[in-house]
Amino acid sequence: MLSSCLKTLLDFTNWHTVSHTPTLASLKIRAKFQDEAAENLASLVINSSDQKSARFSGYLLLGCLAVMGALATSAAHADSVLGVELSPAICKLNPYMGNLRQCIEGNPMTVNFYRVANQSCSNSRYSMSPLQEKITSKVIPDGNIRKNIWQQYGRCSGLSTPNYFRTITSLASQLKLPKELSSGRSYRFASSGLSRQLLSLNPGMKPNSFNFFCQKNSAGQSVLTYINVCYDNNGRFAQCATRSYACPSQFLIDGNY
């Protein structure tokens, strides 16, 4: 899967390489989606904006690495994974991403990928109505990033473009995250403490339904950058196939821009 992810990156920047797209997972989420719920993503509101290819390339590469960070799904465990980016930390740790809309506007979180397990990849084109583009931009602000998430993950989900992005906004609207993640302040957190808050806020979530990912800052401190959440084929929280050890027992939550 990493070779496939990097291939999308290289193709976008007009590099030339050989890669293959592996088969991703076989169960698809079936649910009723309500666009009204997507409108309530107050903590994730972002406006869309096209960015320069170099900055986008770095963004996509980080997303690839986050997905690959000790998270391999199988039908016996999670059928899908939603990736949530903590934008203040990402923007500060990676200055070349500073012109992304979430960095400019100071948004606390964005969705950076949604992967469904084991569906054959199709050649379906990215196609959404202007209204759905507007709704989806609240969780995935950049148009180029949305299109490349579709190319990398959506067309391998077994879902149409509208249903794929409706699933993303539906899952994001239902996911409850601790207020500290969007407070605009910085905290030192124990991994166990953040885990307890997630479990308390999200009925049905299991201790192994999520993974944390960290990146070190210039002072050598680990900063939380991504939270990946795992689901079954009915959109319920599920066990992640493996546990990530990309964060230490204590880390920083950096909400300051």
Tens of pLDDT, residue by residue, the chain (257 residues): 444 444 444 443 333 332 333 323 333 333 333 333 333 333 333 333 344 444 544 554 455 444 444 343 333 457 899 999 999 999 899 888 878 878 887 778 999 999 998 788 998 899 999 999 999 999 998 888 899 899 999 999 999 999 999 999 999 999 999 988 888 888 899 999 999 999 999 999 999 999 999 999 999 999 999 999 999 989 999 999 888 889 999 999 988 77
User: Each residue of 67-92: b (16+ CB within 10 Å) or e?
Assistant: bebebebeeebbbbbbbbbbbbbbbb
Provide the whole-model pTM. Answer: 0.70
Between the alpha carbon of residue 60 and those of residues 2, 6, 65, 149, 204, the distances in Å are 12, 9, 9, 9, 31
Q: Which has the closest alpha carbon to 172: 247, 64, 85, 246?
A: 85
